Amino acid sequence: MGVKQKDVLAIILVAALLFIPFLGKVHLFDWDEINFAESAREMIVTGDYFHVQINYQQFWEKPPLFIWMQVASMKVFGVNEFAARLPNAIAGIATLVALYLIGFKLFNRRFGLIWVLVYVGSVLPHLYFKSGLIDPWFNLFMFLSCYFLYGLCIKERHIKNYQFAILAGLTGGLAVLTKGPVAILLIGLTFLIYWGIKKTKTGFKLLEFATVLAVALLTTFLWFGFEVVKNGWWFMSEFINYQKDLLSTPVAGHAGPFFYHWLVVLLGCFPASIFMFLAFSKKSKLKLKQNAFKLWMVIMLLVVLIIFSIVKTKIVHYSSLAYFPLGFLAAMGIYKWLKAEGKFKVVHKVLLSIIGFIYIIAGVMFPILGKSPNKLLPLIKDQFGKANLQATVNWSYAEMLIGLLLLLGIVLFFVFLSKQQKVKSVLALFISSVLFIQLFLYFFVPKIEMYSQNAAIEFYKSHQGKDVYVDVAGFKSYAQLFYAKKTNPTNQKALDNKWLTTGNIDKTTYLVTKINKADKYGAMPGYEELYRKNGFVFFKRSPLN
């Protein structure tokens, strides 16, 4: 067995140990995690595996590929949190292997290993592989499509041209089937800008481009095309209109400043985001193919950040494709720095210290504030937020060690740096970051969930299998669908939230609202308040007749 094969096996093992254990330790989070898992559950309940549904109604927002992955997982492991998140753990393993192999091909074994370490050791890239979100697979498909397009553009080819074209089209089509036509926008813009800059120096041919498009269209036809043939263009119109709304208006109140995603990427991809700047040092001995791929990654990073800065809806994971180019640039920065082709400047040290300090403070302060939540109450004006903090959550001061572990890693980084032991400094920083992320997820996230949604979810679960309706009043949620295991009602009026909250219902209905809406619903006929807990108010509504 060669070195490369041993490395791949080691990466698979380590990635599996990092991403798979404890996936079911905490409830799925509203909205997105529960949204996708509920769509998968409803596919199983209805036996309709071709249409994405939510609350047993057509769901136009997303294509089905990721939902199919969750369905397959749930068929094996049951309808639960572990099964909903397992596909992304597999995406994490596949991603790290892909980064190593591409890094090995572009540079060498050392670069491939650095890229893996940088990606897995950064906060948001690591965290997403422990989630039930669509984006890890979506981003991997888009990145691979861009990599194969890059392979078509450079003159030095490792495999036959049309294999690159087929793979570029296939992965691009899978990206569209995962999350929709925004994949075409991101991949297409990245390619067009690169081609516009380097068109006289690329070996890209028109027939190859046609092959990419043909394969991508054939792949997407597996679902989009079939729907159009079966249901007509109104289906595509509904789907596209939703995407347009997402771009032009802040959906569900998710607004934010123009620089939102720039800040998310800088802070969320710590510590890789610091080393990214080292990739742009003037000293450079890169080969033609390496410089070409660097340009691809710079373009991809800017395309993602600019596009989603323009988009009105601001959600953290919208810019998550940026993690790939940023990780590459960070790996390149470290690689060059280790070869004395770059310098870790004072500004980099300051930035590393400031962002690291934010995470350290979070790791230390969570247990302190958790032990004395009343200290936060005067700072919170929102009634619901104040009530959340009254949840009974057991914190330990020993958990402060999680933040101090990252502090130790940063201190060791600077100690080794002062001794010119660069390899040790990088390992100390990124390994401590991996441990910090893992421990934060294991110890802190379940406790944060106790404040935010656990009371409501436990209420929904208590009504599983009962001949009643369970819903929310005055706010949006998918948790009641998944955790009460809602069945497709015989009375289709029960799919209408307005009917359940104000209509002439035909059976007992349990409703959950937030404390700031409790007086409104409590004054309505037929509402009986059961109890209040952690900001949620629970009502029983009986039929009026």
Domain co-membership, 400 together with 297: no
Domain co-membership, 410 together with 518: no
Among 227-236, 337-346, 349-358, 515-524, the least confident range: 227-236
Q: Is the pLDDT of residue 392 over 70?
A: yes
Higher pLDDT, 261 or 200: 261
529, β-bridge pairs: 539
Alpha carbons 7 and 13: distance in angstroms, whole number? 10
Residues 333/286, Cβ–Cβ less than 8 Å: no
Predicted confidence (pLDDT) per residue in 81-126, tens digit: 999 999 999 999 999 999 999 999 999 999 999 999 999 999 999 9
* Helix, strand, or coil (residue 484): coil
Domain co-membership, 10 together with 142: yes
Residues 96/120, Cβ–Cβ less than 8 Å: yes
Average pLDDT over residues 502-517: 94
Domain co-membership, 446 together with 476: no
Q: Is the pLDDT of residue 250 over 70?
A: no
- Residue 223: cis peptide before it, omega within 30 degrees of 0: no
Confidence of residue 428 (pLDDT cuts 50, 70, 90): very high
Higher pLDDT, 197 or 483: 483
Domain co-membership, 338 together with 352: no
Domain, as residue range, for 495: 457-541
Domain co-membership, 116 together with 29: yes
What pLDDT shows up at residue 353?
97
Residue recorded with tokens 């092959």: 211
Domain co-membership, 135 together with 75: yes
- Out of 319, 343, 367, pick the residue that ends a domain: 343
What pLDDT shows up at residue 163?
87
- Out of 428, 452, 476, pick the residue that ends a domain: 452
What pLDDT shows up at residue 72?
98
What pLDDT shows up at residue 249?
60
Residues 100/111, Cβ–Cβ less than 8 Å: no
Kindly report the average pLDDT of the chain as a whole number: 91
Domain co-membership, 207 together with 273: yes
Domain co-membership, 259 together with 371: no
- Out of 452, 484, 519, pick the residue that ends a domain: 452
b/e code 488-500 from CB counts within 10 Å (16+ = b): eeeeeebeebebb
296 token code pair:
């691809």
Global model pTM greater than 0.85: yes
What pLDDT shows up at residue 541?
94
Among 157-161, 232-236, 357-361, the least confident range: 157-161
Domain co-membership, 46 together with 188: yes
Domain co-membership, 197 together with 227: yes
Domain co-membership, 72 together with 205: yes
As a three-state string, the secondary structure of 70-109 is HHHHHHHHCCCHHHHHHHHHHHHHHHHHHHHHHHHHHCCH
Indicate the number of domains in the chain: 3
Among 147-151, 205-209, 491-495, the least confident range: 205-209
What pLDDT shows up at residue 299?
97
